[in-house]
Chains A and B, each alone.
Chain A
Amino acid sequence: MNALERFAVGDVEAFEPLFRQHQAEVYGWVLRIVRDPAAAEDLTVEAFWRLYQKQASLDPKGNCAAWLRRVATNLAIDHLRRVRPTEPLLAEPADVQRADGVGQQETRFAIRAAMNELSPKLRAVALLVLIEEESYTSVAESLGISLGAVKLRIFRATRILRKKLEQRGVRP
């Protein structure tokens, strides 16, 4: 019996191994969307708290990682809705190396501002697909939407981004 099966049948002690097994993966995924380590930690804890509360209705044979990722993604999008889009939201964490492709600070600022102007749903998909280069399939699974819906969101996001970038004098 694995940890999920034990937890789903009422063994509360099995929650800890489940948590330890998946916490880093959930945190990493959420961080790619919210790009704020402190917020990513809070949302990771919240996602696991929801798992804990769902104990009675969990499917012992279900995919815990996928369930957690979906819940965490929705929590991350809700977080983007709550947090006012500002420059620090998309600023790179200190431990991430800065790429040298676009040298000018102003251009970088314009690109980040354009990204910030996307709606939370479109921004999450754009960050995951265009920045983190996640596959359409994994993004669709994490959002609980179809592949076509992800492609449509990317299409809309890129159209808006191109328009915003052109307005700011940046040609992709």
Chain B
Amino acid sequence: MTDRNKRDEDLERLGETLRSAIPPIGEAELRHDLSSRILQRIEGTSRDLAHWRRRPSFVGVPWIDWALMGVAVVVMLLFPALIPALLYHL
């Protein structure tokens, strides 16, 4: 017996042992049609996209940017002399 034949035989024996504990599933049938689930997914995302498109663009600005802008405005109101320095750094 060649090495290759022996390897194939060993592999087949191992496969048989494994299959005796883990039976093959083979050709399994779908328990039910999944088209409603994929449709839900597509429709859900389309709704999300439409919702996002309707939203004003400024809502997409992160909150930290709004907070920083607020701080800058307050600083400018309290210390107007700092405005040129602030503009210099922009």
A52–B42 CB distance below 8 A? yes
Check B1 for interface membership: any CB of A closer than 8 A: no
Picked from B16, B18, B34, the residue with its CB within 8 Å of the CB of A115 is B18
| Given A37-B31, A101-B16, also A45-B37 (CB < 8 A) | yes
A23–B22 CB distance below 8 A? no
Check B56 for interface membership: any CB of A closer than 8 A: no
What secondary structure prevails in chain A residues at the interface with B?
Answer: helix
Chain B residue at smallest Cβ distance from A48:
B38
Interface size class of A (residues with CB under 8 A): 35 or more
Picked from A23, A99, A162, the residue with its CB within 8 Å of the CB of B35 is A23
A115, B16: Cα distance in complex, Å: 14
Picked from A31, A41, A92, A172, the residue with its CB within 8 Å of the CB of B22 is A92
| Given A19-B38, A23-B30, A45-B38, also A133-B15 (CB < 8 A) | yes
A99–B23 CB distance below 8 A? yes
- For B, the interface residue count at a CB cutoff of 8 angstroms equals 28
A101–B35 CB distance below 8 A? no
The total of interchain contacts (Cβ-Cβ below 8 angstroms) comes to 111
Chain B residue at smallest Cβ distance from A47:
B38
Q: Which of B21-77 contact A (CB under 8 A)?
A: 21-31, 33-35, 37-38, 41-42
| Given A19-B35, A48-B38, A49-B38, also A162-B14 (CB < 8 A) | yes
Shortest A5–chain B CB gap in Å is: 20
Which residues does chain B contribute within 8 Å of A1, judged by CB atoms? none
Picked from B15, B19, B26, B29, the residue with its CB within 8 Å of the CB of A24 is B29
Which residues does chain B contribute within 8 Å of A7, judged by CB atoms? none
B27–A28 CB distance below 8 A? yes
Chain A residue at smallest Cβ distance from B41:
A49
A131–B15 CB distance below 8 A? yes
B residues bordering A, Cβ < 8 Å? Answer: 10-11, 13-31, 33-35, 37-38, 41-42
